Structure 1
Amino acid sequence: MSLDKLKLSKPLVAAMTDAGYLSAKEIQAKTMSRIIGGQDILAVGPEGCGKTTNYVLGALMKLKYGTDEAPKILILVADKERALAVIDQFRSLSKNRDLRIIGLYGTGGMDAEINELVDGVDIVVALPSRARAVYLKLGLNLSKLQLFVVDDAELIVKQGMQLPVCELARSAGKCQHLVFTTVLHEKLEHMTSQFMNFPAVIEVTDLGEKQAETHELLLYQVPNFKSKLNLLDLLLRDDEVFDKVVVFVNTRLNAQKLGQSLHSRKPGEISVLNPLFFDEEGFDHIEDFKETESARVLIISNEGNASVDLSGVPFIFHFEVPQVKETFLSRVLKSGPEEVVAITFATDMELVDVRKIEQSLGARIQVMDLPEELVVDQPGKKAKIDKNRIVKEKQDGPKGGGAFHDKKEANAKDYNYGIGQKAKMTMKKKHS
């Protein structure tokens, strides 16, 4: 699609051409008019599909020249490297504009960042935790915010940073919200529902033209570790089908836990490759497992065992998605006539890695329905409150000793200055 179709300003089109962008990406074509029009957007697309360039262009189109101290755009990212990349993208596409942009990623003192914000800023790119800390110090004024952007939202959720994001969004009040993510799942939807009202959900695949030749790939989306264990145990009950199985996990400790947790009807049926402790059922070499008829399930850790010979093994389970996608790809790419089924279990947090794998494969992995008889583990419920317990009555009077007294009316604080006002008042007091 031509850049002209995005209806950008001439300086922006020229800046994009100079930066090497010759055509618009699919996600830009689908969202740009909505961004410029002020609609809330939840955009889903794989890594490299143009999400960052998309909101940078939208922000530059909406940003009008002004001398306000308070920022008009706040962009939350997952780490410092991402923040620096976003700032660099803004500067490369706004060469003809005097753009005031600040990064908050927690490497220096907070006072220096606050002083820089007081001098005036248009765009703030920040980690959620750092932005919240500066805001609570009255250093980040959100009263003039027009655009609130969350980039790589799936990574922010994975880091457990939902609370700072929601607090900042609610503090900003009424403004446009843009959320960009690789995957969409329940935890992420719960976060965005706290501050987005009926956003337009736009998804692009961008898997590439070439599709890799692989073994049969199946995917089960399972909520947690315990449910994964129940599912694996349920499937492995059919020993006629699953007569020789390799199960991959990420760490040797998890291999040990899994070996102890799986139910076995026959001795020696379940074992671990290079077990953590000498008294566990296991093998030192995978060839010994293949040759032992009674051994049916071998659990292998990805630590130090990324390139084992899987020839002759008809079923491969990835109980955990490998953190390095090349590890997964090396096991599922077809290199001979052998018929192999590769089954993957993934939680919401692991779907990010699954999407990266699918992008490399050039195709989506088939998602399977969970069996009806599967016991899905539910998070523990809070203990019920004992209604018969004795509760001390709250005293309405002030706490403290005999010297306690109420503040004078003149000293009672019922205001909350923004950082700009507060900093200027402090400077006046110093020079008076």
Structure 2
Amino acid sequence: MSFESLGLAAPILRAVREQGYETPTPIQAKAIPLVLGGGDVLAGAQTGTGKTAGFTLPMLQLLSAQPPRKDAKGRWPIRALILTPTRELAAQVEENVRQYAKYLPLTSMVMFGGVGMQPQVERLKKGVDILVATPGRLLDHHQQGTLDLSQVQIFVLDEADRMLDMGFIHDIKKVLAIVPKDKQSLLFSATFSDEIKALADRLLKQPELIEVARRNTAAESIEQRVYTVSRDRKKELLAHLIQSNRWDQVLVFARMKHGANRLVDFLNTQGVTAMAIHGNKSQSARTKALADFKTGQLRVLVATDIAARGIDIDQLPHVINYELPNVPEDYVHRIGRTGRAGATGEALSLVSVDEDIFLRDIERLIKLQIPRHTVAGFEPRPDERPEPIVLGRRMTIGAGAGNGGRRPSGNGHGGGRPATPSGGGSKPASPKPSPSRGGRSGFAPRTRSA
């Protein structure tokens, strides 16, 4: 199959060829004709399989076929809205939109927080066909009356699962109340859960359901490995692996912002150039770190889960989980930064005894036992026992001595005080928010066969 066979217009095909793409990925081959048909779509595919082009290319064709009309105030209206969970992802998506719209008379802009609003206001005044935005800044503009979404024809919710993980369900509901009810809606997600179906029930009308791989699985092109190690030797093992293997471009995931900063300080003392990217960094610092990493000037980028969305690098060879995520689906997102678009990649996890329960949850989700390895000189101490892991100021989790391998349950320990182990583990608050269910009952999307 070729992009030509999908019915895309010549200007779009020309831009796609210039980006070096000749054959559509499975998600693109299935999604593009459905979006061109004008219906709602619920699409699930692994990270790195080309979801962005799957909705961007047909969107551009639909918009270019219908010239815009000025509103009552003489402004060119926003006709397509793409909502993303993070700034980096918003910037990446809007860059893709510009690349694919190179030979079309369509305009786009990106809108997110952390930067001044006035330049965004001025850009909106000039007219924008396609707006890519994060929820918070979009609602800020709406509240101040600086943008009008009343003529949105196509609405895209990208990385919907991450939206829910980050607690954006209420902001999404607010956005849905602003945009027209009569529109084409597209929901794209790397993982596909019951919560996503509940959101789709609220957003979509008789959607086509596309799944190009088994739910919550990593690409087969990614080699996954676990290195067991004592908790106090992780930093040294990480530096050893990078230096002994002469890796030049490594994306490392840490669980917390302060932990990412400490890890960067340590790596730099070992002669490994590293920078951190997370929510406490200024937007300029985040942009510079990501740019230096993409161009190879920076050897290691240490990221938290929230900031990592939008890191889209061709041929990124190595992803390392310095700390395992407490939400198993985040593991799939993390390692999906490598092995993209059919390329091979390595995903390594440094696991201490404290994280055994996280590892078991991940393996249960992906239905795969990840091979275990040790490195001489970094073996875990035989007498090491699990200790609670603090997740932020209000959440802790006991790593499981005496809990039979089950994740402790409970509502946390108020007042921000970390719990201490008692009888085999502390009780955490649930690490994932529960989005509200609602909307139409009996949601039953039509499944497209492969």
Taking structure 2 as the reference length, the TM-score comes to 0.52
| CA distance 1:328–1:133, shift in 2 (3 Å) | closer
Q: Aligned runs of 1:218-237 on 2, under 5 Å?
A: none
User: Tell me, which stretches of 5 or more residues in structure 2 are unaligned?
Assistant: 71-75, 242-254, 256-302, 306-317, 348-362, 370-402, 413-450
2:126 to 119, 122, 131: 119
In structure 2, the residue matched to 1:4 is 4
Q: Is the 8 A contact 2:3 2:22 kept in 1?
A: yes
- Aligned counterpart, 1:79: 86
The residue number in structure 2 matching 1:101 is: 108
User: Is the 8 Å Cα contact of residues 44 and 202 (structure 1) preserved in structure 2?
Assistant: yes
Alignment match, 1:339: none
Q: 1:136 to 1:374 in 2, by over 3 A?
A: same
Counterpart pick for 1:147 among 142, 154, 164: 154
AA of the residue aligned to 1:51: K
Distance in 1, matches of 2:9 and 2:407, equals 56
Measured in 2, the distance between the counterparts of 1:358 and 1:88 equals: 21
TM-score relative to the length of structure 1: 0.54
**What is the deviation of 1:57?**
0.3
Q: Residue 258 of structure 1 aligns with which residue?
A: none
Query: Residue 61 of structure 2 aligns to a residue in which SS?
Result: helix
CA distance in 2 between counterparts of 1:151 and 1:85 reads 12
Q: After TM superposition, give the deviation of residue 71 of structure 1 in Å.
A: 0.6
Which residue is 1:62 aligned to?
Answer: 62
Distance 1:372 1:4, change over 3 A: farther
What's the counterpart of residue 129 of structure 1?
136
User: Using a 3 Å threshold, how does the CA distance of structure 1 residues 356 and 189 change in structure 2: closer, same or farther?
Assistant: farther
Q: Deviations over 1:250-306 (max 9, x none)?
A: xxxxxxxxxxxxxxxxxxxxxx755xxxxxxxxxxxxxxxxxxxxxxxxxx855555
Q: Is the 8 A contact 1:16 1:22 kept in 2?
A: yes
The aligned counterpart of 1:353 is 334
Conserved 8 A contact 1:166-1:191: no
User: 2:409 maps to which residue?
Assistant: 377
Does the 8 Å CA contact 1:154/1:352 hold for their aligned counterparts? Answer: no
Secondary structure of 2:203's partner? coil
Q: Which residue is 1:45 aligned to? A: 45
Q: Tell me how far 1:149 sits from its aligned partner.
A: 0.8
Quick one: structure 1 residues 194 and 96, their matched pair in 2 at CA, closer, same or farther if it must change by over 3 Å?
same
RMSD: 4.3
**Does the 8 Å CA contact 1:71/1:142 hold for their aligned counterparts?**
yes
- Residue by residue over 1:10-29, the C-alpha shift from the partner in whole angstroms, topping out at 9 and shown as x without a partner, is 22112212221111111111
Match of 2:42, SS?
Answer: strand
Mapped to 2, the partners of 1:127 and 1:213 lie a distance apart of 32
Give the fraction of aligned pairs with identical amino acids, expressed as a percent: 23
2:67 maps to a residue whose letter is Y
1:385-423: per-residue Cα shift (whole Å, max 9, x none)?
A: xxxxxxxxxxxxxxxxxxxxxxxxxxxxxxxxxxxxxxx
**Residues 74 and 125 of structure 1 are in contact (CA less than 8 Å); yes or no, is this contact kept in structure 2?**
yes
Equivalent position SS for 2:78: coil
**Higher Cα radius of gyration:** 1
Q: What is the count of residue pairs matched by the alignment?
A: 281
Distance 1:213 1:374, change over 3 A: closer
Provide structure 1 residue ranges, at least 5 long, that are not aligned to the other structure: 216-245, 249-271, 275-300, 310-319, 332-342, 381-432
Deviations 1:22-59 (A, max 9, x none): 11111111111110112221212222211111211011
Q: Would you say the 8 A contact 1:71–1:123 is kept in 2?
A: yes
Give the drift of 1:159: 2.5
